[in-house]
Structure 1
């Protein structure tokens, strides 16, 4: 089955086409561009590009997998709206995966506890801790790096991954794995593969914001005249 994977929870705008076979996954095509201000402009052309590279059409898709965050409001909703629209238009199921889980899954190593952190702006990070086989140990949260460093001190963490971990490495004080900055498309697909193979019903793609958007509509109208 051909599956479209999209993620816009970080500055990396990702689209990929993955073939889910009974015993393995095959990455057929992938596009990833890092640009925190161009999610809306980049994602749709990337989807068209991966389909063209694989010689496929949108009607060949059997499912859509989307990273549901956590991530900043504006960027994250681009990927989710794209996934929901394609799922409804093509009448195919959609499956959500926590974007931090994808990094934790990709970084998993026996005997290690891993801090996954993405940049949340406002001098904060989205973060969670993962153990063997990429199993999540703490729930996703958002906090200042110094707060995370204090909470992580007693969790036996041995390494950190993600853009947020690199940006605030001096505060977190943990060894880094440089090759894992953003959620890999193949990891997102792997975390949804069991549900897809089993033919589980599609899911509502609920964004994991963890905090209110930067722009909030005023609740009280101010008078024009004094």
Structure 2
């Protein structure tokens, strides 16, 4: 089993088992919240919850997967810090994966073909985005991830909460019975992708478990501290 975590938008965690077929991993248990300011308080108890749901312990986990963003500084730090702590405490490997890949997988599962965008809220009137392609040879990242104004993105159909924020600049993918303009990343999809990568079925998915911020922090060292060398 893999334990997956993501805090690039809301917060989510999931347990994913390996499958002996060509499919990606199977979701055993999952949890999520859209609340943007409670990651530190709720994520660790949520991990205990999903482990308890299937009667698993940390020693039974084969590895930890964490979404590296892009996303806000504080949110990403919470998920990555917990991922590093659990992997270290359990003596398990830690794998990183781009959080936008979650929505790309969801779009492909929903039947999206050809080139499309994933766009999420980056605040400051910008979006985090990447371009993907799905055809008979599979799915792949073709551009990104980047951060920038929605009006500057390629003219392709898109999924993700960034579309809902900027409907005049971005064209939503039409999916019967679903609203992809409200989608946010989820750990369950990241865990499935990681299982596929670890099984040798996907290439170029896993990355270093380090935060993908894409821009400078708002926090600056005060000028007086710089002068004093502290």
Q: Distance in 1 between matches of 2:81 and 2:226?
A: 33
Q: Distance in 1 between matches of 2:171 and 2:39?
A: 31
Q: Does 1:44 align with 2:44?
A: yes
User: 1:70 aligns to what?
Assistant: 70
User: 2:106 aligns to what?
Assistant: 106
User: 1:15 aligns to what?
Assistant: 13
Q: Does 1:119 align with 2:121?
A: yes
Give 5+ residue unaligned stretches, structure 2: 201-205
User: 2:145 aligns to what?
Assistant: 140
Q: Does 1:217 align with 2:226?
A: no
The worse-fitting range, judged by mean Cα deviation, of 78-87 and 169-178 is 169-178
Q: Does 1:26 align with 2:29?
A: no
Per the TM alignment, residue 147 of structure 1 is displaced from its structure 2 partner at its CA by 2.0
Of the candidates 186, 195, 198, which is equivalent to residue 196 of structure 1? 198
Per the TM alignment, residue 196 of structure 1 is displaced from its structure 2 partner at its CA by 2.8
For 2:143, what is the secondary structure of its paired residue? coil
- Preserved CA contact (<8 Å) 1:101 1:134: no
- Preserved CA contact (<8 Å) 1:161 1:176: no
Q: Distance in 1 between matches of 2:139 and 2:187?
A: 16
Q: TM-score, structure 1 length as denominator?
A: 0.85
Q: Distance in 1 between matches of 2:112 and 2:152?
A: 27
The worse-fitting range, judged by mean Cα deviation, of 180-189 and 209-218 is 180-189
User: 1:183 aligns to what?
Assistant: 185
For 1:113, what is the secondary structure of its paired residue? strand
User: 1:94 aligns to what?
Assistant: 94
Q: Distance in 2 between matches of 1:87 and 1:222?
A: 36
* Cα root mean square deviation, aligned: 2.1
The change in CA–CA distance for 1:78 and 1:26 in structure 2 (over 3 A counts) is same
Per the TM alignment, residue 31 of structure 1 is displaced from its structure 2 partner at its CA by 0.4
Per the TM alignment, residue 160 of structure 1 is displaced from its structure 2 partner at its CA by 1.3
